[in-house]
Homo-oligomer: A and B are copies of this chain.
C-alpha cells in the first residue's frame, strides 16, 4: 500500500477508534449514572407528592422542599412533570456527555452524580482529551491542502503578491467559517429549539466552538423533542467539524502572523517552532532569507541559552 493510502487508513482508524471510545464512555456513564439518577428521580417524585399532601405550607417546609429540588436540578433531575420522561443518561445523552468531556466543551447540563462517575470522568478525560486533540490535528492536517495551501496558491497565480494573498485567503476562510459554522447553525437552532432566538443560537455556537461551553443553552434538552438521539448525534458531528474548522482557522492565522512578522514582534514561538532552526543555523547561514531571521533570534537567544546541551541539541536519529 502506498503512503497516501496508509495515511488515510491511519486517519480512518483514528476516527473509528474515536467513535468507539465515545460509545464505550457512553455505555459506562450510562450504566454508572442511570441507577443513581433513577433513584433521585423517585425521591423527587415522592418529595413532591409529600409536599402536596400536607395541609398547609409553612415557610420552613417550602424552604426545605426547594433546597432538595434545586440540588436535584443541579444534577439534571427536574421535578417538573413534562421533563421527567427522558433520562439524562440514555445512550445518546451519555455519548453527548462523553463528547463534551473529551472536546473540553463541558456544558455541565448533566454531571455525574456518583463518586464512581466522577472518578471515571477524570480517567476518561485524561485519555480522551489528548486523543481528541490527536484526531482533530490529524483531520486538520488533511484539510490544510484543499482549504489553505491550494487557495493561497490559486490567489498567487491570479497575480496577487504572497502577503496580500494570505490575508485575502484568511478573510475568505473566516467569512466561510462564520457563515457555515455560526450563522447557519444559529438559524437552524432558532428554528429547531422552540425557545431559542437567533442570538441564542449564535451565542450557543460561539460559546461551544470556543470550548467555553457555559451550558445555559444545550440543544436536545427540551421536553418532547422528536428524534432526540439523532439530533444529539447531529449536534456532536457539528461540534467536531466546527472545532476542526476553528483549529484550521487558528493555524492559518498563526501561519499568516509568521509571514507578517507578528509572532517574532511578540517574541512568541513561530508556527514553525524556532527550536529546529537553531539546530541548523550554521548550515543555512548563507541563505539570504534566513539572514534577518537570525538577527531577530539573537534577542531570544539571551532568554534561552542554547549553547548548553538541551532539548534543541539532542540528535533525533
Contacts and interface: CB of A to CB of B under 8 A. Distances in A.
B275 A134 contact: no
Contacts of A258: 316
A111 B214 contact: yes
A104 B63 contact: no
A34 to B, nearest CB: 17
B268 A138 contact: yes
A144 B35 CA distance: 47
Contacts of A207: 106, 121-122, 125
A48 interface: yes
A222 interface: no
A162 B63 CA distance: 64
A73 interface: yes
Interface stretch (A20-28, A87-95, A225-233, A279-287): A279-287
A111 B108 CA distance: 12
Nearest to A14: B266
Given A108-B214, A310-B152, A73 B75 contact: no
Interface string A113-148: 001001101100110010000100110011011001
A116 B202 CA distance: 13
A267 to B, nearest CB: 6
- What copy number does this chain have within its complex? 2
Contact of A81 (B63, B78, B270, B308): B63
A244 interface: no
Interface string A188-203: 0000000001011011
Nearest to A290: B280
Nearest to A6: B299
Interface string A50-94: 011000010100110011011001110011110000000000000
B272 A280 contact: no
Given A104-B212, A212-B125, A289 B308 contact: no
B311 A166 contact: yes
A273 B272 contact: yes
A144 B101 contact: no
Given A104-B212, A163-B314, 17 more contacts: A7-B267, A7-B302, A66-B79, A67-B80, A70-B79, A106-B211, A111-B214, A118-B200, A138-B266, A138-B268, A141-B269, A145-B303, A145-B305, A156-B309, A273-B273, A289-B317, A292-B317
